């Protein structure tokens, strides 16, 4: 990277920045599972199938205290602020205390789900909270499993009076529904199903939808692929779990009055069915086990080819970021087929094809990807300037790929040399590093701009932006894969794998600018040490991802402030 402008690193780490957000987002995604089948979300057999998403969280105060220990004093303060706001809104303002009124009877987790509105009309409100809500508005369902029916019944028999209103009873499908009327502010509707689940909603129609889903077995638990895939990510006593209904969420987004999804994107998203994740708290950070699966009627199928997991052993231990995959040609084919006509795609396939052709006169698929059917990696390695050698770069972007046809690869690289020499006036300098031929591209002022060559086992490399060739040729003794940071961060499962990701957040954020994706992103980055991801294609319909976010420890937190009215 050039020390003044550093534009290349920003682009290089854009994808890394996205994964930071995903990993840091896991810091706030509060999730979990246990229902009629203990490895599903609590209440999955009650939540209607058209739920946009569902989130369940632990009710164990010890787990919440453990979460609050992570990070820095700033992130502790930020999390505590949000917890107090939620407590005061849903409990304190209605006269309830969790430890006294809820904890004696509630189960290990509670679940919140947001149901889809009528997708034929634009969404007018984010969540319906009044008794006159229509089916054109999203509505929220909260499900509290009951572990002590006697204590629950005694509390629910005499609920606290609503502000300025009263509770009334009615019956639907032989189930008693308690509702508030006449009060100021949020209204509530509740029902106790089989003395096992307390359902709380913001309006009576939503309660009826939950009862219907339960009685007619048209719930989340019976939705396509849910019961088959969610158990793959089950963990004993996790902190939480989440589920996203991709088709319904896409349909809602397609009707958005602000930024509606194009028809082509909606069509592509309909191939996907669901994404689910389970989050557990460990001594050094947060682990997220995730699975995504396709719609069973989708014509799209996944290629089961898990052949990655070696590139980290070709990189030096000081590598800041690595993204690897098992088959670059297949990776591109999948990306091109799913991102076509998607305005949110990082790179439009046709634009990349045209760009490669315009800049190098090479055909992306025929001249390059045709021989790149093996494992590949993209990494960022900090540069160590050598005395007497001009070097304006702080780090190098290093691309490696296992060639499936070395002769075609050598031809393509020679063509690139000719283009750089004749079209861009670069000096092409041939040299050797540890006895291996290396080609250097020197800029107009003699600055080493890029190097390429071949490693053992027909692995080609291209290093752009710094003199790091001697760090990868020969294979380093101290590799990224053998480093403590990599081994402690990148999950060992699933194995075999079709791709891995590693980001040393602590050193990267300290030395290089990162794109901003989240509010309070800098605060979150300062609390994070590293992020690791391992993925694998489970079968022709599903993909597994394990994510670990290594976090700093801020120490034992102070007790949350008492409610103002106490």
Residue with tokens 């809602």: 252
Long-range contacts of 202-205 (CB under 8 A, 24+ apart): 202/127, 202/128, 202/129, 202/130, 202/133, 202/139, 202/140, 203/128, 203/129, 203/130, 203/131, 203/132, 203/133, 203/139, 204/131, 204/170, 204/177, 204/179, 205/133, 205/135, 205/139
HEC letters along 483-513: CHHHHHHCCCCCCCECEEEEECHHHHHHHCC
Nearest to 238 by CA among 104, 56, 46, 106: 56
**DSSP code at position 559:** P
The one-digit pLDDT tens for each residue of the chain (566 residues) are 343 333 333 232 333 333 333 333 333 332 223 333 455 688 999 999 989 999 999 999 899 999 989 988 888 888 888 888 887 777 777 677 788 888 888 999 999 999 987 433 333 333 333 444 444 456 899 999 999 988 887 777 777 666 667 888 899 999 999 888 766 666 788 899 988 999 999 888 999 999 999 999 999 999 999 999 999 998 888 899 999 998 888 777 767 666 666 666 666 677 788 999 999 999 999 999 999 999 888 888 888 889 998 999 999 999 999 999 999 999 999 888 887 766 667 788 898 999 999 999 999 999 999 999 999 999 999 987 665 454 567 889 999 999 999 999 999 999 999 999 999 999 999 999 988 999 999 987 777 889 999 998 799 999 998 788 999 998 899 999 999 999 999 999 999 999 999 999 999 988 887 777 777 788 888 899 999 999 999 999 999 999 999 999 988 877 877 776 55
How far CA 528 is from CA of 284, 485, 507, 508, 532, in Å, comes to 10, 13, 10, 11, 12
Query: Which pair of structure tokens corresponds to residue 14?
Result: 């854009």
Whole-number Å distance between alpha carbons of 267 and 518? 28
């Amino acid at each position: 990277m050039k020390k003044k402008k550093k534009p290349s690193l920003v682009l290089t780490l854009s994808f890394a920045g996205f994964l930071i957000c995903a990993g840091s987002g896991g810091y706030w995604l509060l999730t979990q599972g246990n229902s009629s089948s203990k490895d599903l979300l609590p209440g999955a057999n009650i939540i209607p199938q058209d739920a946009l998403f569902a989130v369940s969280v632990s009710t164990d105060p010890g787990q919440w205290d453990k979460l609050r220990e992570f990070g820095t004093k700033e992130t502790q303060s930020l999390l505590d602020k949000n917890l107090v706001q939620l407590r005061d809104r849903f409990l304190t303002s209605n006269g309830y205390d969790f430890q006294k009124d809820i904890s004696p009877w509630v189960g290990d987790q509670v679940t919140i789900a947001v149901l889809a509105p009528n997708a034929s009309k634009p969404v007018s409100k984010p969540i319906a909270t009044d008794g006159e809500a229509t089916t054109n508005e999203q509505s929220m369902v909260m499900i509290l499993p009951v572990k002590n029916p006697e204590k629950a019944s005694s509390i629910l028999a005499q609920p606290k009076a609503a502000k300025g209103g009263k509770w009334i009873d009615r019956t639907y499908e032989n189930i008693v529904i308690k509702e508030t009327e006449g009060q100021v502010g949020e209204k509530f509707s509740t029902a106790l199903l089989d003395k096992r689940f307390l359902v709380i909603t913001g309006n009576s129609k939503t309660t009826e939808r939950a009862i219907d889903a339960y009685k007619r077995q048209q719930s989340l638990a019976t939705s396509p692929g849910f019961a088959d895939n969610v158990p793959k990510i089950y963990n004993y006593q996790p902190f939480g779990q989440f589920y996203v209904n991709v088709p319904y969420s896409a349909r809602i987004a397609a009707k958005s009055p602000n930024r509606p999804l194009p028809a082509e994107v909606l069509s592509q998203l309909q191939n996907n069915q669901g994404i689910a994740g389970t989050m557990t708290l460990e001594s050094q950070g947060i682990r997220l086990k995730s699975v995504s699966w396709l719609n069973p009627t989708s014509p799209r199928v996944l290629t089961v080819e898990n052949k990655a997991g070696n590139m980290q052993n070709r990189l030096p231990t000081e590598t800041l970021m690595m993204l690897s995959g098992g088959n670059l040609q297949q990776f591109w084919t999948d990306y091109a087929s799913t991102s076509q006509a998607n305005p949110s795609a990082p790179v439009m396939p046709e634009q990349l094809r045209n760009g490669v052709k315009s800049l190098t006169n090479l055909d992306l698929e025929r001249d390059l990807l045709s021989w790149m059917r093996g494992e590949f990696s993209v990494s960022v390695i900090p540069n160590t300037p050598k005395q007497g050698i001009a070097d304006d770069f702080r780090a190098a972007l290093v691309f490696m790929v296992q060639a499936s046809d070395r002769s075609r690869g050598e031809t393509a690289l020679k063509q690139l040399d000719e283009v750089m020499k004749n079209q861009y006036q670069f000096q092409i300098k041939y040299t050797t590093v540890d006895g291996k031929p290396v080609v250097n591209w020197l800029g107009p002022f003699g600055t080493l701009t890029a190097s390429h060559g071949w490693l053992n086992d027909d692995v080609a490399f291209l290093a752009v932006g710094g003199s790091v060739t001697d760090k990868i040729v020969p294979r380093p003794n101290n590799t990224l894969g053998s480093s403590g940071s990599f081994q402690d961060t990148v999950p060992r499962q699933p194995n075999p794998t079709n791709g891995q990701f590693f980001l040393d957040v602590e050193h990267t954020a300290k030395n290089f600018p990162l794109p901003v994706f989240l509010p309070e992103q800098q605060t979150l980055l300062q609390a994070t040490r590293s992020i690791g991801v391992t993925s694998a294609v489970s079968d022709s319909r599903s993909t597994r991802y394990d994510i670990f976010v290594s976090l700093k420890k801020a120490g034992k937190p102070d007790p949350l402030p008492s409610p103002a009215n106490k």
